[in-house]
Chains A and B, each alone.
Chain A
């Protein structure tokens, strides 16, 4: 996950429910009423890139009002992140029951990357286990769908353009496309690369060009 990674930026844009622990003047525009202070215990959705740094900073006093703030208050971080909807118990249970039929894309298009970040800051071992199991289970299906491609030679060229990620066979089309809609962005990338490589090797084996 590099600095210029576009998927990483999109991941960090996803919103996390947060609760403020301090009164902060001037930050009211986060609540859509600028000019007013933000109250302690105010709950609002913040993008991850903002929330995780505000949740981490606690003892660093702001340079301007370091005099004004008491010593005790400085130990409290600005806000507290609560578990996002993507990792709520409901979703975890759904993952545990049937990983393959889960519609991950509707839960969060960048589920895995957010999960990685979440596990990293809170060192959530349970979540890490659940998510790695999920990826393992789903990768089997991804592999199946990436492989199941029409082996008849004449069709190989028609799926040459990867703009459509779906199978060309009609009876596979429904199953694979509905499955593909449930993939999250990381899985889509995996699917795309593996499908490409299967397709290329098949083309190399069965077609002499």
Chain B
């Protein structure tokens, strides 16, 4: 007789002091209820830059934040931002953590390289024998890693800036419509400044060169009543490649949107409004799909763009 003891084994395998995975660990939605300073503290012991975990395991924080985790969610955000037609919300907490880590790592690199300088001057004084326990490889790796992360962040922000350029009038419309989501969630502080100054400058240029010569009813730069709307909205129907990854905690049964088909495969059901057609998006498969159809799934982190 077969006794299925998988559950018992799994329970034994999970350490009683382990991280609580059922918490809010969605990489795409920032943890909203914890402020930055507590994030700083909670992320610090997990930071890979610190070699030993000083805290005993019992007092570890419940939210799963690690440098590795943050990096992979940054990569996801970067890919989504590059492929999506609209401007996605800015990950305030994630970016503040990443920027803080870069700062820390830069300082650490400087300290370590200062150590090397000291070592080198000593060894030149003494003899020419090579130092085995102090090779440069970790330093090189750290530098290269830092450059890679900085590249991702730069590219991410540049991509967002180009979208802000493109949709500045549309963003203004959002700003004026108070019932829509506020711009503070969408943009970071620096992007906000950029957006305001840049649209001011563009407006000034247009006003001074052409608009002031036109009759007053044609002077508006965001006229939507004419034959063509002057406000460029994001192309909501743009086709994007998506990969369905499912809920982040991998608890397939707990997701209310997931359904099961006859082959025991999980899928999301979405409806394309124009064709009135239901599409089943199976987990781990790749589709070419209209953006507005999968927008909600994307914001929940259940699909990623590729």
A2–B227 contact, CB under 8 A? no
B227–A53 contact, CB under 8 A? yes
Is A4 close to B, CB under 8 A? yes
Q: Which of B227, B230, B231 gathers the greatest number of chain A CB atoms within 10 Å?
A: B227
- Give how many A residues have a beta carbon under 8 Å from the other chain's beta carbons: 6
Determine the chain A residues whose CB is within 8 A of the CB of B232 once the complex forms. 2-4
Is B228 close to A, CB under 8 A? yes
Is A118 close to B, CB under 8 A? no
Determine the chain B residues whose CB is within 8 A of the CB of A53 once the complex forms. 227
Q: Nearest-CB distance from A120 to chain B (Å)?
A: 12
B interface, size bucket: under 10
Q: Nearest-CB distance from A51 to chain B (Å)?
A: 11
Chain A residues numbered 27-60 whose CB sits less than 8 Å from any CB in chain B:
49, 52-53
Task: Describe B's contact surface by its main secondary structure.
Answer: loop
Q: Which of A3, A52, A53 gathers the greatest number of chain B CB atoms within 10 Å?
A: A3
Q: Nearest-CB distance from B282 to chain A (Å)?
A: 26
Is B13 close to A, CB under 8 A? no
A3–B228 contact, CB under 8 A? yes
Chain B residues numbered 211-252 whose CB sits less than 8 Å from any CB in chain A:
227-232
Determine the chain A residues whose CB is within 8 A of the CB of B229 once the complex forms. 3
Q: How far is A53 from B226 in the complex, measured between Cα atoms in Å?
A: 10
Residue of B nearest to A3 (CB): B230
Q: Nearest-CB distance from A193 to chain B (Å)?
A: 14
Q: How far is A30 from B296 in the complex, measured between Cα atoms in Å?
A: 51
Residue of A nearest to B235 (CB): A2
Chain A residues numbered 130-149 whose CB sits less than 8 Å from any CB in chain B:
none
Q: How far is A4 from B167 in the complex, measured between Cα atoms in Å?
A: 12
What would 8 more interface pairs be, CB under 8 Å, given A2-B232, A52-B227?
A3-B228, A3-B229, A3-B230, A3-B231, A3-B232, A4-B232, A49-B227, A53-B227
Interface residues of A (CB under 8 A from B): 2-4, 49, 52-53
> What are 10 A-B residue pairs whose CB atoms fall within 8 Å in the complex?
A2-B232, A3-B228, A3-B229, A3-B230, A3-B231, A3-B232, A4-B232, A49-B227, A52-B227, A53-B227
